[in-house]
Amino acid sequence: MSQNQTPLFSGLVEHAKKNPIQFHIPGHKKGAGIDPEFRQFIGDNALSIDLINIGPLDDLHQPKGIIKQAQDLAAEAFGADRTFFSVQGTSGAIIAMVMAVCGPGEKIIVPRNVHKSVMSAIVFSGSIPVFIHPEIDTDLGISHGITTESVERALEQHPDAKGLLVINPTYFGISADLKKIVEIAHSYKVPVLVDEAHGVHIHFHDELPLSAMQAGADMAATSVHKLGGSMTQSSILNVKEGLVSAKHVQSILSMLTTTSTSYLLLASLDVARKQLATKGKELIDNTIQLAQSIRRRINEIDQIHCIGEEILGSKATFDYDPTKLIISVKELGLTGYEVEKWLREKHNIEVELSDLYNILCIITLGDTEVEANILVNALKELADECKHRPGKIEPVEVLLPEIPVLALTPRDAFYAETEVIPLDESEGRIIAEFIMVYPPGIPIFIPGEIITMENLHYIRKNLEAGLPVQGPEDDEIKTIHVIKEYKAIK
Ligand SMILES: Cc1ncc(COP(=O)(O)O)c(C=O)c1O
């Protein structure tokens, strides 16, 4: 089959054209039974391929027909031995990756700033996380990836780890020396699992950082929906055979996946793969050029700075993706949150994220000069408005919390009986919830860790500095959940 073909999407369209009499789910029957207003809005075409795993349409759980063909084409396009489609986002693919290598009591090396799906996977699998601190950029107040040195140290101390998980590239588009990290891990026969949520496109352009498969990683959970043109919630899991078995990965993924898989999402993965494989280079060329021209224009505005290749050169900033616009606004005297709100209210612009110092805007295959001009002009207007503002926001020192000792696996802590106590009296107790500060987006505590005075101090300092401390049930963090302790009965 050629990369120009879309066996799954075309198979669905062919099937719908035959207009079969359907005595199967979904019960809306090509839209006839759905709310008319919704039907009119979403259109009959979409509803006609909202189908289910009947014979001609294959089954994601045991693909042998058009889904298998589509997955095989994706594997070829992404340089994988096997590609599995996920209708449960990259979160679903990440949980499957972790559970495929780790069981109860087994170690997995992970950066401290992992996405919540990794922590869910650690709870589900009963594994023991061995944390590595990511590198912190104190100027931008963001965390980057992990360094080759920290991977080396972690593996020296834990050669029995069952896997190493790497976030590459980061949300902000920064990537580590993934090839070297893979070489180090493989010298210990430890498989490398890549959270590639923000890097589907990098495989298709050689000016972008190396993709997980190009770097020789064993698995990668890749959000096609984020930057690759498929529909929200559709992702892929790429696998290289050797240290992991694709068959085992498939059965874990199947255990975690709905039996009613959305064919709209699956078909959108098929067409996104075709577009990336056949036109990706050209489309991404345009995207990079557009992003670089926006970057240049933003950098002409006083007191607004769009980060570029000057960020490279530290141990964790090996390469970067220029389509991510990290826009530092702290010199305006405004926080990123305030700029996000201003752009929404004044210009109907929605950014990808904001934090204390920055906003992040992503430029993709879907953008043109029109959107670029609107953003640049809005930022110019904002800078003019801020010219006469007294004072700047005082830079807040971004500190790195000490990683506490893990007394219970996150799974045991999750299932343990808990009680609520005042934060000030919690030293020495085992915490049962997450506490996180953003920036730099690193958990101070995860369930199962022993609360230390230093970490309590760190929380207080962040609260005093006005940084949002997130996670605990009590928003003000006067009280926290800890594992219940039973006193001896006299
Ligand atoms: C670093 C990272 N990993 C994983 C995910 C999960 O991806 P999804 O939303 O497709 O489940 C995200 C989502 O934002 C993410 O930022």
Rg (Cα) of the chain, in Å, rounded? 24
User: For residue 437, what are the β-bridge partners?
Assistant: 442, 469
Bridge partners, residue 420, by sequence: 481
End-to-end CA gap in the chain: 76
Is the CB of 90 inside a 6 Å radius of any atom of ligand 1?
Answer: yes
Mutual orientation of helices 369-386 and 263-299 as an angle, nearest 10°? Answer: 50
Distance between CA atoms of residues 245 and 357, nearest Å: 43
Indicate if the pLDDT at residue 52 is higher than 70: yes
Banded model confidence at residue 399, pLDDT cuts 50, 70, 90:
low
Out of 50-54, 95-99, 312-316, least confident range: 312-316
Q: What is the spatial distance between Cα 448 and Cα 120, in angstroms, rounded to a whole number?
A: 14
The alpha carbon of 120 and the centre of ligand 1 are apart by a number of angstroms equal to 13
Least confident of 112-116, 311-315, 355-359, 437-441: 437-441
pLDDT at 489: 80
**Cα–Cα distance between 53 and 165 in angstroms, integer?**
33
Return the SS3 of 404. Answer: coil
CB 148 within 8 A of CB 184: yes
Q: What is the pTM (predicted TM-score) of this model? A: 0.94
pLDDT confidence of residue 76: 98
For ligand 1, mutation pick of 223, 269, 321 (most atoms within 8 Å of CB): 223
Q: How far is CA 346 from CA 20, 295, 379, in A?
A: 50, 21, 11
Distance 94 CA to ligand 1 centre (A): 9
Mean pLDDT of 217-243: 97
Tell me the two tokens of residue 97. Answer: 């990756």
CA 394 from centre of chain: 30
* Residue 394 in this model has a pLDDT that exceeds 70: no
Residue in 428, 419, 436, 438 with CA at minimum distance from that of residue 480: 419
Q: How far is the CA of 89 from the centre of ligand 1 (A)?
A: 8
Q: Which atom of ligand 1 sits closest to the CA of residue 92?
A: 11
How far is it, in rounded angstroms, from Cα 195 to Cα 168?
6
Q: How far away, in angstroms, is 207 Cα from ligand 1 center? A: 23
Compute the CA torsion angle 50, 55, 58, 60 (nearest 10 deg): 80
Q: Which atom of ligand 1 is nearest to the CA of 94?
A: 4
Order across the sheet with 435-437: list the strands.
Answer: 442-445, 435-437, 469-470
Q: Whose CA is nearest to atom 14 of ligand 1?
A: 197
Query: What pLDDT sits at residue 392?
Result: 59
Q: Are 369 and 431 in contact (CB under 8 A)?
A: no
Q: How many whole angstroms separate alpha carbon 294 and alpha carbon 301?
A: 11
Q: Which is it for strands 442-445 and 469-470: parallel, antiparallel or unpaired?
A: unpaired
What's the gap in Å between 156 CA and the centre of ligand 1? 29
- The structure tokens 């099937």 sit at 15
| Summary mean pLDDT of the chain | 94
Residues facing residue 406 across a β-bridge:
449
Q: Is the CB of 86 under 6 A from ligand 1?
A: no
Backbone angles phi, psi at 14, to 5 degrees: -55, -45
| Pocket of ligand 1 contains residue 196 by CB under 6 Å | no
Select the more confidently predicted residue: 337 or 40: 40
> Helices 66-78 and 263-299 meet at what angle, rounded to 10?
30
CA 426, CA 421: separation in Å to the nearest integer?
A: 7
Q: Establish whether residue 236 lines the binding site of ligand 1, counting it when its CB lies within 6 angstroms of any ligand atom.
A: no
Length reported for the chain: 490
Q: Does the beta carbon of 117 lie inside 6 Å of ligand 1? A: yes
DSSP string, 381-400: HHHHHHTT-S--PPPPPPP-
* C-alpha torsion 477→111→116→169, nearest 10: 130
**Residue 120 phi, psi (nearest 5):** -60, -45
146: which residues sit within 8 A by CB, 6+ positions away? 111, 132, 133, 134, 135, 166, 176, 181, 316
Of all protein residues, whose CA lies closest to atom 13 belonging to ligand 1?
197
pLDDT of residue 473: 86
| Whether residue 141 has its Cβ less than 6 Å from ligand 1 | no
Atom nearest to 223 CA in ligand 1:
10
Mutate which of 87, 91, 166, 230 for ligand 1 pocket (most atoms within 8 A of beta carbon): 91
- How much distance in Å is there from the Cα of 168 to the middle of ligand 1? 12
Span from the CA of 44 to the centroid of ligand 1 (angstroms): 31
CB–CB of 332/383 below 8 Å? Answer: yes
Indicate left, alpha or beta for 452 from its phi (over 0: left) and psi (-120 to 50: alpha): beta
Buried b (16+ CB within 10 A) or exposed e, 134-148: bbbbeebbbbbbbbb
Pairing of strands 479-483, 418-422: antiparallel
CA–CA dist 441, 141 (Å, integer):
9
Which H/E stretch holds residue 195?
strand 192-196
Task: Quote the pLDDT of residue 486.
Answer: 81
79 or 472, higher pLDDT:
79
Confidence of residue 393 (pLDDT cuts 50, 70, 90): low
pLDDT in the model for residue 440 = 67
How far is the centre of ligand 1, averaged over its atoms, from the C-alpha of 163 (Å)?
Answer: 19
> 241 CA distance to ligand 1 centroid (A)?
24
Peptide bond between residue 169 and the one before it cis (omega within 30 degrees of 0)? yes
